[in-house]
Amino acid sequence: MTKKIAVLAGDGIGPEIMAEAMKVLNVLNSQMNLELEFENGLIGGAAYDEYGSPFPQQTIDLVKAADAILLGAVGGKKWESLEIALRPEKGLLGLRSTLNLFSNLRPAILYPQLANASSLKAELVSGLDLMIVRELTGGIYFGQPRGIRLLENGERQGFNTAVYSESEIRRIGHSAFKIAQKRNKKLCSVDKANVLECTELWREIMTELNQYYPDVELSHMYVDNAAMQLVRAPKQFDVIVTSNLFGDILSDAAAMLTGSIGMLPSASLNETGKGMYEPIHGSAPDIAGKGIANPIATILSVAMMLRYTFNLSEAAERIELAVNRALNANKRTSDIYSEGMIKVSTVEMGDAIIAGLN
């Protein structure tokens, strides 16, 4: 059976990091006979420029027909003044919701080689390995009504709606409990149940689900406290499950604990295991085109794809090992560079990882 992968490089540094990921994947594909097939498509600003939409019909058809999607990043200054519906970010949100990719896995793992790149003291983060499970297709990101309206007194008012139905909470809850079972069996549900009814229900359902996973130790934390705990004592966490908006914010904070947001991959899965894989970082327009972006997050996203959608864990491990070898060889892109290391470009990092594939 062939395995179809839609490749959407997107904007900013997207094409540069995707080129390296594809280089790695092509080598592995022929080394291990993985029978992967690729088709490129446009998303975000790149798609808007070509088709006038950040998620055009061609791309919708492509991702629906694919078994997995690899995505670079979307967004950039050029498109910031467009109306919200046409902005690059809408392409990404459209993709997530069209494919029902409700379960977003965002691991934050500290590579021992990078302990000094973290903004926290090495002893606070050494050995850090946590997983944020972010609900990705609901909450305030998608809730209706939303918009900017004119009030009777003539002033404008912006409004959004935070909503979660029981079934939405249950499915992300099951997803997170199952992941916790395969790890250290600790799940922390993050909410704002002291203020928001929407997350009061969230807490109730998470508590109820615990009965199906008696081996998992469930705790609850308010999001403000969770933000504090993440930078105070991050190793207390194993798996965190949270809403779309809170997960967006906490995952950036967690990423930085590991030294660079340029290191971290993510998976967005639907009920059947079909998935979209992308780095956690954005399109970084400030460094786009300079050849200095770190391709590791995208390359590790490829590893997640092989593992979660195609069950090719051996191939996934080969990639992860190759990344480790490149780091052990002291190769560093500028975001993770420290004195005494060898500063390399995006392309050179891709080459170093390929060298470690054997």
Residue closer to ligand IPM (CB basis): 106 or 332: 106
Q: Catalytic one among 141, 164, 213, 308?
A: 141
Task: Determine the Cα–Cα distance for residues 76 and 114; give it in Å rounded to an integer.
Answer: 29
- For residue 242 the two structure tokens come to 């949270």
Looking at 49, 248, 320, 348, which residue binds ligand IPM (CB under 6 A)? 248
For this structure, is 308 an active site residue?
no
- Beta-bridged to residue 107, according to DSSP, are 131
Region of 45-53, 86-94, 223-231, 332-340 interacting with ligand IPM (CB under 6 A): 86-94
Looking at 89, 217, 248, 320, which residue binds Mg ion (CB under 5 A)? 248
Q: Are strands 3-10 and 103-109 parallel, antiparallel or unpaired?
A: unpaired
Q: How far is the CB of 118 from ligand IPM (least distance, A)?
A: 20
For this structure, is 252 an active site residue?
yes
Residue 92, binding choice from Mg ion, ligand IPM, none, Cβ under 5 to 8 Å by partner class:
ligand IPM
Q: How far is the CB of 92 from ligand IPM (least distance, A)?
A: 5
**Do the beta carbons of residue 131 and residue 179 sit within 8 Å?**
yes
**Using rule CB under 5 A, residue 89 touches Mg ion:** no
**Using rule CB under 5 A, residue 217 touches Mg ion:** no
Task: Determine the Cα–Cα distance for residues 7 and 70; give it in Å rounded to an integer.
Answer: 5
Q: Catalytic one among 49, 129, 252, 351?
A: 252
- For residue 132 the two structure tokens come to 């944020």
Scanning residues 270 to 299, which ones bind ligand IPM (CB under 6 A)? Answer: 282
Binding residues for Mg ion (CB under 5 A): 248
Catalytic residue ranges = 141, 192, 224, 248, 252
The site for ligand IPM (CB under 6 A) is made up of 75, 89, 92-93, 248, 282
